[in-house]
Amino acid sequence: MKIEMELNGRPVAHEIAPGGNLLSVLREIGQFSVKLGCETGDCGSCTVLLDGEPVNSCVVAAARAHGHQITTLEGLLGDPLMKELQHEMVVKGAVQCGYCSPGMLISLYAHFKASGDLSEHALREALTGNLCRCTGYVKQLEAAQTVADNRQNESGGAS
């Protein structure tokens, strides 16, 4: 079966195997920020945006992407918000092995784009679907909170 989708802002057509998942298709196309972790939708390493919403691509049928917009970390590399999130993750020491980082970045990016709630609780909630085996999430939350604080300061303190 052939699917057509918009991948990182460009039209893509790809032949898929019956029953295949979106994660496999994305890696076949060369989107290597999308990591294979648990294959059950529990770890978040494969998080991508499907029409702007974060999803675990390992549990999304590839056929579901037909006619939709898919965004991976590669598609957000020049985005100012993503650059700020990446910078703060590095500055705060939130990147150890880095395997979970793309999924965390996508989840945080989606949260910042969709929500006005930049409280610590909301940022913790944004990361609940992302597992990290190297850290205690403190550094990732510090990075996200710094970005939230910067955004609130830029908007004059309004959230």
Write down the pLDDT at residue 156. 74
CATH number for the 78-153 domain, one of 3.40.50.1370, 1.10.150.120, 2.30.38.10, 3.40.50.720? Answer: 1.10.150.120
Residue that has been written with the tokens 């679907």 in this structure: 129
Evaluate whether 2-75 and 78-153 have a shared fold. Answer: no
The sheet that has 53-56: what strands, in order across it? Answer: 10-15, 2-7, 69-71, 47-50, 53-56
Domain limits of the chain? Answer: 2-75, 78-153
Give residue-wise pLDDT tens across range 95-154. Answer: 888 899 999 999 999 999 998 899 999 999 999 999 998 888 999 999 999 999 999 888
What pTM was estimated for this model as a whole? 0.93
Residue that has been written with the tokens 């195997």 in this structure: 17
Which residues 6+ apart lie within 8 Å of 68 measured at CB? 5, 6, 50, 51
Phi, psi of 116 (to 5 degrees): -90, -5
Spatial distance between the Cα atoms of 129 and 64, rounded to a whole number of angstroms: 21
Give residue-wise pLDDT tens across range 63-99. Answer: 999 999 999 999 999 999 999 999 999 999 998 888 9
Residue that has been written with the tokens 């913790």 in this structure: 124
Superfamily of domain 2-75: Beta-grasp domain (3.10.20.30)
